[in-house]
């Protein structure tokens, strides 16, 4: 039995299968996931688990080289934006319109659905390499 880190078997398998440059999404409870994208549905009820709880667990197990956020997060959720920037301070990133982020999500390897109920807590992460390049 695995004793620490992410214990969700489905999520562990998806993370272990990530290759360099693969992308995946962490989204809120209402983020529309395009047809054909595998979903790891973690949501239990509104607010459980939070985006932050999920992101913290993911960052313990995954190397991230780039992330994409909706530009609307600047105005609608600056507290979450500050958290993300503090967790990934030297990581390349971009801001695009939320509608474009939804379109971009059609190309992710998998999506994680959280119980988050705040505005624009959706992020596309690109896997990096865990060794010196």
pLDDT in tens, 33-71: 999 999 999 999 999 999 999 999 999 999 999 999 999
Stretch 101-120: mean pLDDT: 98
pLDDT average, residue stretch 22-31: 98
Q: What is the spatial distance between Cα 83 and Cα 1, in angstroms, rounded to a whole number? A: 32
What confidence tier does 78 reach under pLDDT thresholds 50, 70, 90? very high
Does a structural domain hold residue 2? Answer: no
Higher pLDDT, 2 or 24: 24
* 133 occurs within a structural domain: no
Distance CA 75, CA 11 (A): 31
What is the reported pLDDT for 11? 98
Asked if residue 116 is part of any domain, the answer here is yes
Q: What is the CATH number of the domain that holds 31?
A: 3.40.1650.10
Contacts of residue 48, defined as CB under 8 A and 6 or more positions apart, other chains included, come to 115
CA-wise closest residue to 43 among 57, 53, 29: 29
Q: Is residue 132 part of a domain?
A: no
Q: Could you tell me if residue 99 is inside a domain?
A: yes
Instruction: State the helix-helix crossing angle for 78-87 and 51-61, rounded to 10 degrees.
Output: 10
Where in the sequence is the domain holding 60, given as residue range(s)? Answer: 9-127
The tally of domains found in the chain comes to 1
For residue 43, is it within any domain?
Answer: yes
How far apart are the C-alpha atoms of 3 and 75, rounded to whole Å?
A: 40
SS3 for 23?
strand
Is residue 69 domain-resident?
A: yes
**Is the residue at 57 inside a domain?**
yes
> Which residues are marked as active site?
20
């Amino acid at each position: 039995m695995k004793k620490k880190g992410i214990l969700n078997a489905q999520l562990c398998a998806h993370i272990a299968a990530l290759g360099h440059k693969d992308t995946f999404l962490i989204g809120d409870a209402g983020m529309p996931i395009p047809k054909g994208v595998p979903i790891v549905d973690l949501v239990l009820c509104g607010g459980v688990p939070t985006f932050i709880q999920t992101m913290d667990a993911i960052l313990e197990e995954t190397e991230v080289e780039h992330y994409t956020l909706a530009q609307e997060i600047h105005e609608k959720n600056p507290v979450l934006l500050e958290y993300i920037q503090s967790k990934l301070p030297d990581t390349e990133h971009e801001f695009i319109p939320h509608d474009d982020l939804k379109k971009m999500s059609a190309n992710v390897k998998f999506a994680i659905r959280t119980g988050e109920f705040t505005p624009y807590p959706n992020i596309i992460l690109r896997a990096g390499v865990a060794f010196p390049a």
